Structure 1
Amino acid sequence: MRALRWHGKHDIRCDTVPDPAIEHGRDAIVKVTSCAICGSDLHLYDGLMPTMERGDILGHEFMGEVVEVGGENRALKVGDRVVVPFTIICGECDQCRRGNFSVCERTNRNKDKADKVFGHATAGLFGYSHLTGGYAGGQAEYVRVPFADATHVRIPDGLTDEQVLFLGDIFPTGWQAAAQCEIEPTDTVAIWGAGPVGQMSARSAMLLGAKQVIVIDHVPERLAMARESGAITIDFDNESVLDRLKELTGGKGPEKCIDAVGMEAHVTRSFDSVYDRVKQAVMLETDRPHVLREMIYVCRPAGTLSIPGVYGGLLDKIPFGAAMNKGLTFRMGQTHVNRWTDDLLRRIQEGQIDPSFVITHTVALEDGPGMYKTFRDKQDGCIKVVLKP
């Protein structure tokens, strides 16, 4: 089969590799009909995530048709159409029973390695380094899905791939980001980053009843897409984020702040962003947390910071004293995908939202390596790429 593989920083290739096979009774083999490049895949492209190995198959946002099932898998049958969440879950451990699926206790097959780095291992993830299990990803023609009897979302007839593909990651990620804010009807929600997760966060905040939603970015196409949803936008290249947020909130600051950027904040005009780039270049810091600092500063006292943006390692100069004294609540983590998918699938079916609005590019799998650069550099109006194996 053909698959996109990581061969090093900025080196993604479409290679021919062996077809996957059933390895455990709970497995399934899925023929991929659609997959996507996610913003967190760019951390791999840019060489920012440790424990990647040459030849690793990428991709954690995919869906398709079940073509083979293991002998112990009673939940799926050949011909089922499924979206596969990026978090691999057993459905049986203590964390899964609590709905904390992204920290499943059983699916990270490199648990010992992850325990040393994080204190406790998180769930296994598709196509996302050997700290998260080293599982082959879904930017391929076929994928072995471990624990497939739990790790799936069955898709009913009548919905296109484009409508449901993002149930595997960015839609529940944006939804969880907003849900963690516990939005009240009087709340202003400010969202840093108008990429795919930021767009889903904005629409989710509106569906959950926010008074106003403000989206902060500098890419014209992203800001235009956010405005189409009804959000107010701030272009940080041409406006002061702090001044505009004060103006829009009567000087009080937003009650709820969402960091949909994470470890690669691309701000060039502030001292702290220059500081981060220097420290990152000499390997004294792994992440660039400009957005996190700014959120702590502008958030209204007793407010909430929700962080779906991925961070990978060590941060510096975080104003934790301000966060403590303002009484801010931090909520963060990888997405508990299966906690949200039943409700979100219903909302798609009822026409409350069509997540396909975010797609700007659809290409063949073989064109994927070039699209990584297009997506990373925000060229050609690129906001979200769908690949068709």
Structure 2
Amino acid sequence: MRLARVALTRILEPGDERAGRWLREAGPVELIRRLTARDGSAEELPGMTATRLGGYRLRAAAAEPERDLAAVAAVGGRFLCPGDQEWPGQLDDLGDARPIGLWVRGGPDLRLWALRSVAVVGARACTPYGAHMAASLGAGLAERGWVVVSGAAFGVDGAAHRGALAAGGATMAVLACGVDVAYPRGHTELIGRMAEQGLVMGELPPAAHPTRSRFILRNRVIAALTRGTVVVEAEYRSGSLVTARSAQRLGRFTMGVPGPATSGLSAGVHELLRGEAVLVTDAAEIAELVGDIGDLAPARRGPVLPRDLLDAVTARVLDALPYHGITDVRDVARAAGTSADETLGRLYELHSLGFVERQGDRWRLTSGPTCNADARRGGT
């Protein structure tokens, strides 16, 4: 059965739901037999056409599963099938679009790593802001024990991988080509580091090259494999949005990092945020959303000003003093709506705290930093 699945990764394209139905109903061995036999059984497969069958048979004739297994073993890799102990069960959520199998390089257990993983994806031609945010998120998630998953592309993907590696954390790449192929070539060293320190995986057999459709179909694996997907920068037409929407359909968490409203590279993210996605700005907020109970981000608040510590009556007395000049107790009491005795006591309290000064029987705001306009008005 394993050899049959290996051969089918040569014959069938990733994400082909029609072929996935054939595989589910007939099984890998029987499907191979039908595709290669001349007894007419292949024509009985639902949706099969003569043209389609001709293409499958050309590929089947060139399939050498033993050689593919030897090739992946030569680079320290392996082939995983559904049902294997290391197989990530969440990929089964893809139904008939589930991978036939996975080619994997790297030592860690894929199933265990995938259980606590987050995808960070975005634009290839990202801005410096996008690269900074992706690297920061990758490092922050890695420091919190999360595995950072992306596609090893230029831009946001590469920045997220590097951020995780720089933090000494875990990261894995899902490729749209063979795991022995470094694509893009500019990331040869990065992909090599991930194969040594993390995981590199894909649906395509050794030496298989990437195509536009394979990149798009690869994204469904990233979405299904992880607990949630974060989009850092993306235009309206973007493969990253395909990943995010796949995650939404699968019931995974979908998040977006906002950018400038005038940036076309953030337009797709903002559209996502207008829908079901959750706005996040750092790794703590991501971990709070996808993590366990009690994994909370720190409370976000502005600075506490000296005036914020005053009780309501004292603050009202402080507000009653004119911004310029001096005044007496009666005028302050009238403006504050308190008695003269109560006002005097509060003024002495404010004096001890450095908010006001006494000049004879009259009072004024201090000119020091404690009672500047922001302190007096509560920072508004």
Same fold (TM over 0.5): no
- Structure having the higher Rg: 2
Q: Structure 1-normalised TM-score?
A: 0.26
Tell me: higher relative CO, structure 1 or 2? Use CA pairs within 8 A at least 6 residues apart.
Answer: 1
Q: Structure 2-normalised TM-score?
A: 0.26
Higher normalized helix content (fraction of residues): 2
